[in-house]
């Protein structure tokens, strides 16, 4: 068994916020806004998954991530599927995922250059509790006024197609080449297993669950790590105290204790769910 609290890495972003989420200290007045909080191992390991919080005050760029094959051809270890769990959203908040109609590469490139891509992507209203699994090659953007936990394949590889005139680099050649600019069709709908466990996303690159439980045993298959993400509450993992706003890397069999108000996410890199929670 192995239990490790991951290091918290705060990332300043122009589209970030000064009001974060319970469990995180807000930036000081006058400091740059925080857009992302990453949880990382302090060692040299490059685990399969990465967990982040995102705090948005403006739209993020319209972007795309390559799949494993395209990423490896570009010299990276893997592509990037990702899942978003919406924790909070303003009444008019949206996420763009997919396009309204299929778009060929020439049209997509032209739309990215003239800005009309903003109308071609499908902006969907979001609220707390919504979940999206966004496969690699999906054209997407996270909108303003959203607090989200993102679970993703662990690679820092994003191709920006459009950035609303901000002075940041775009990656049109690479991004257009790997984009499947088509309407988004969810590959999975959240499924309630019992009153303690809901499957939020299932494969093909990872499984993401949401738990509400006071005690239990986490049992992971051999050589399969897990990421424990407490959204609210507090408790212990094999006797080590955890609190909301943290992320823990687990292996093997771990005893979980949680307070009555605990709301927890758990992710592991398998294509199909396994019975990781018992007791």
Dihedral, 200, 206, 211, 217 alpha carbons, nearest 10: 150
**Pairwise CA distance, residues 32 & 158, whole Å:** 22
Residues 16 and 119 in one domain: yes
Q: Write phi, then psi, for 134 (nearest 5 degrees).
A: -105, 105
> Which CATH number goes with the domain that contains 143?
2.60.120.10
The model's pLDDT over 192-202, given as tens digits with 9 standing for 90+, comes to 999 999 999 99
pLDDT of residue 44: 62
The last residue of a domain, from among 178, 199, 223:
178
The last residue of a domain, from among 178, 209, 224:
178
| Positions marked catalytic | 160
Q: Write out the residue range of the structural domain in which residue 254 sits.
A: 191-278
Whether residue 144 contacts residue 162, with contact meaning beta carbons closer than 8 Å, is answered with no
Residues 111 and 195 in one domain: no
**Is the residue at 186 inside a domain?**
no
pTM, entire model = 0.96
Give the distance between the most distant pair of CA atoms in the chain: 57
**Pairwise CA distance, residues 176 & 114, whole Å:** 14
Helix, coil or strand: residue 263: strand
| Residue ranges of the chain whose pLDDT lies below 70 | 1, 44
pLDDT of residue 264: 98
């Amino acid at each position: 068994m192995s239990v490790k609290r991951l290091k918290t890495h705060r990332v300043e972003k122009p589209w970030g916020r000064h009001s974060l989420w319970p469990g995180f200290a807000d930036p000081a007045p006058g400091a740059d806004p925080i857009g992302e909080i990453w949880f990382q191992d302090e060692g040299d390991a490059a685990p399969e998954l990465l967990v982040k919080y995102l705090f948005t005050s403006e739209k993020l760029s319209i972007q795309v991530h390559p799949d494993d094959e395209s990423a490896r051809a570009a010299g990276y270890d893997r592509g990037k599927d990702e899942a978003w769990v919406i924790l909070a959203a303003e009444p008019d908040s949206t996420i763009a995922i997919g396009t309204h109609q299929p778009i060929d590469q020439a049209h997509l490139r032209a739309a990215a250059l003239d800005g009309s891509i903003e109308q071609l992507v499908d902006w969907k209203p979001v609220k707390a509790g919504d979940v999206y699994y966004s496969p690699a090659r999906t054209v997407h953007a996270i909108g303003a006024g959203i607090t989200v936990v993102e679970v993703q394949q662990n690679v820092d590889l994003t191709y920006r197609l459009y950035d609303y005139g901000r002075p940041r680099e775009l990656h049109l050649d690479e991004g257009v080449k790997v984009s499947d600019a088509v309407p988004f069709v969810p590959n999975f709908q959240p499924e309630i297993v019992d009153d303690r466990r809901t499957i939020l996303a299932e494969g093909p690159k990872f499984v993401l669950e949401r738990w509400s439980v006071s005690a239990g045993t986490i049992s992971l298959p051999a050589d399969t790590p897990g990421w424990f993400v407490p959204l609210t509450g507090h408790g212990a993992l094999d006797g080590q105290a955890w609190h909301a706003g943290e992320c823990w890397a687990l292996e093997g069999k771990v005893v979980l204790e949680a307070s009555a108000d605990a709301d927890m996410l758990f992710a592991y890199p398998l294509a199909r769910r396994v019975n990781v929670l018992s007791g």
